[in-house]
Copies of this chain bind each other. A is one copy, B any other.
């Protein structure tokens, strides 16, 4: 075990879980916030900005990339990261649906 039983759930549930998991880490939240806050793309000031080692940051960026939430373009020696607008908007909508489906308290608890 130690293995999520993905075959039991719908593709939508699995995909949402994967993308939420990508965001569900303080370092990756911080990375996303930093990328968003910078008006331009971020060319890897992240190592200095956060207090984590370079391989660790690189790994977190890879996970965000794998989840499709950011994209990186090579700019000479460095790499520029920014939000992937389509996936970002899609995830926003998906999460919004989940939360909005809960209307008012049933006050039975």
Binding site for B on A (CB under 8 A): 4-6, 8-9, 13-14, 16-18, 20-21, 23-30, 32-33, 36-37, 39-41, 50-52, 71-73, 80-83, 85, 88, 91-92, 95-96, 98-99, 101-102, 105-106, 108-109
Contacts and interface: CB of A to CB of B under 8 A. Distances in A.
Number of copies: 2
Given A21-B24, A24-B21, A52 B5 contact: yes
Nearest to A8: B51
B101 A33 contact: yes
Contacts of A20: 20, 23-24
21 contacts: A4-B26, A4-B27, A5-B27, A6-B26, A8-B51, A13-B29, A17-B28, A17-B29, A20-B20, A20-B24, A21-B25, A33-B101, A41-B106, A41-B108, A71-B109, A72-B109, A73-B109, A82-B109, A88-B99, A88-B102, A95-B99
